[in-house]
Structure 1
Amino acid sequence: MQPLVSIVTPMYNNANVIIETITSVINQTYSNWELLLIDDASSDETIAILKPFKESDSRIKLFQHNQNKGAAEARNLGTKMATGNYIAFLDADDLWKENKLELQVSQLINNITDVSFGTYEWIDSKSKPLNIRVEALKQLTYNKLLKANYVGNLTGIYNCKKLGKIYTKDLKKRQDWLLWLEALKRSDKPAISIQETIAYYRITEGSLSSNKTNLIKHNFNVYYKGLGYSYIKSSLYLVQFLFEHLLIKKRLIKSIV
């Protein structure tokens, strides 16, 4: 029996893209999955659009918040309801390549790693390629991840039977970074990547914010509020983060010729 993969997808007013996202899961070459759709009190047509998918495929499950609670709480609810051996994340506006799960489950089954991630590409609001690839490091240790977030959340998957379920703190931004830090902290192995493209990240207005104040504030809070470091220690790590993020991590973002 193939291990079950639980896929957690938070949604909030994603009626314009959710069909394509769900279809990218249905088209996976690896078929033993459950898709946990967590609606965070959408006010558009998202729920109506989901109805035929839910009725025609028992692997698709819908859970709803009565009021908007944010991405962290939505992901945590999905994690709580997950019944799979492995947990993966796919935001409601992103897409997976057809062999994404097949490649990563192979890594996890063979005990190569407890945490898998991979390379992804950018698409625009209409799903057209932007010819930009974000390459994944071949492997990733906790200490390297502590310097900057190298895991594209839409590519990440972890072995929850071994590591346990991981719930993230309710920060406004960067909750996913905290989640992958905790996963590597619990594991006795580095994360291993899939070097080929396995997912597509949708670039929308605000996706690539150049607001330096937010860059500093949200990432400082990962260290200060998320990891509980002192103010001084958090400040020192933030300096290290800015160097890593602006000078080293940027080298992984490449044009596709």
Structure 2
Amino acid sequence: MSLVNIHDQKLPKLSILIPVYNVADYLVDCLTSLLKQVDHQVEIIALDDASSDGCTKILQDLQKHYPKLQVIYQKQNFGVSAARNNLKKYAKGEYIWFIDSDDIVREGAYEVILQAIDEFYGVDVIIGDYYLWEPAKQNALRLEKTFLGRTNVKLDNIENSFLFNLNKLRKNYIWCHIYNRHLLDKVEFPSRARFEDIFFITDISILCNSYVYISHPLVNYRSRPNSSTTSKKSCSYINDYLSAFLYRSGFVAQRFHNYMILEVLIIF
């Protein structure tokens, strides 16, 4: 594994981390949507997980135009969970935001996040909304809310209200969250093909002391018919689904006896 263009400097407020694997058709749109709106308060690190479709060349070309972009190149593919775990080892920011490399960062999202970090400094998790983007349906966009409750108010995570509220809207996506880095020092992504976000957010929830919902769409989430989360007919998908359900339901049953396990059924 080689690391390109990472220098010692004043610690940034925010690290934006992007695992990359065989998304050549989408990568330029993703990265330029982000790079054109950031400033000196952020670092952007992409990890090329041994792509075979031209992503490496795209990243190299983008670095020539955007010195802010830092890239880790791996010679062997280890999967998205391992990529995220490696990325967070290199991150220096006070807060960390994971982006998927086929999505689009909405204009103004970066400024909104920095404002939230300043206003609610020290909060453990910042929660935003997103647009479901369906290019196959004439680029249809639909606003998706990720949280029920008060906005722009720092909330204490009493009896894990953070996790239970996320369950209600079935929004278990880490790219809707910006995490205080101290949380990520204690949690790893599990090595899984699907639903790794369910495991990760479950583990984060018990460490989270406070959170804020800013009710602002941060990304356009690209719906791809053949992606790992939209292909629902394989046995492996069902096995991963059941594993995620059993993990979270066991977590809830062990720690929150008054909470109805049936409510966990709305994970998805």
CA shift for structure 1 position 148: 7.2
2:6 matched residue in structure 1: none
| C-alpha separation in 1, matches of 2:192 and 2:30 | 25
Deviations 1:101-157 (A, max 9, x none): 222232233336321122111223479631322112145613444677524332221
Contact residue 30 and residue 102 of structure 1 kept, 8 A? no
Superposed, which structure 2 residues align to 1:12-161 within 5 Å?
12-28=21-37, 31-111=40-120, 113-125=123-135, 129-139=139-149, 141-145=162-166, 149-160=170-181
Superposed, which structure 2 residues align to 1:154-233 within 5 Å?
154-160=175-181, 162-165=182-185, 166-189=187-210, 191-206=211-226, 207-211=229-233, 216-222=238-244, 224=246, 229=250
Contact residue 158 and residue 183 of structure 1 kept, 8 A? no
**One-letter amino acid of the structure 2 residue matched with residue 217 of structure 1:** N
| C-alpha separation in 2, matches of 1:129 and 1:69 | 32
- 1:141 partner SS: helix
- 1:64 partner SS: strand
| C-alpha separation in 2, matches of 1:127 and 1:18 | 20
Contact residue 30 and residue 103 of structure 2 kept, 8 A? yes
CA shift for structure 1 position 91: 0.7
1:241 matched residue in structure 2: 264
Number of paired residues?
A: 239
TM-score with structure 1 setting the length:
0.78
CA shift for structure 1 position 78: 0.7
| C-alpha separation in 2, matches of 1:204 and 1:29 | 27
Contact residue 17 and residue 96 of structure 2 kept, 8 A? yes
| C-alpha separation in 2, matches of 1:41 and 1:49 | 13
| C-alpha separation in 2, matches of 1:39 and 1:193 | 31
| C-alpha separation in 1, matches of 2:41 and 2:217 | 21
The percent identity for this pair of structures is: 22
**One-letter amino acid of the structure 1 residue matched with residue 230 of structure 2:** L
**One-letter amino acid of the structure 2 residue matched with residue 141 of structure 1:** F
Structure 1 unaligned blocks of 5 or more: 247-257
- 1:123 partner SS: strand
Structure 2 unaligned blocks of 5 or more: 1-9, 150-160
Contact residue 72 and residue 171 of structure 1 kept, 8 A? yes
Contact residue 245 and residue 267 of structure 2 kept, 8 A? no
TM-score with structure 2 setting the length:
0.75
2:156 matched residue in structure 1: none
Task: Report the more deviating stretch, 75-84 or 30-39.
Answer: 30-39
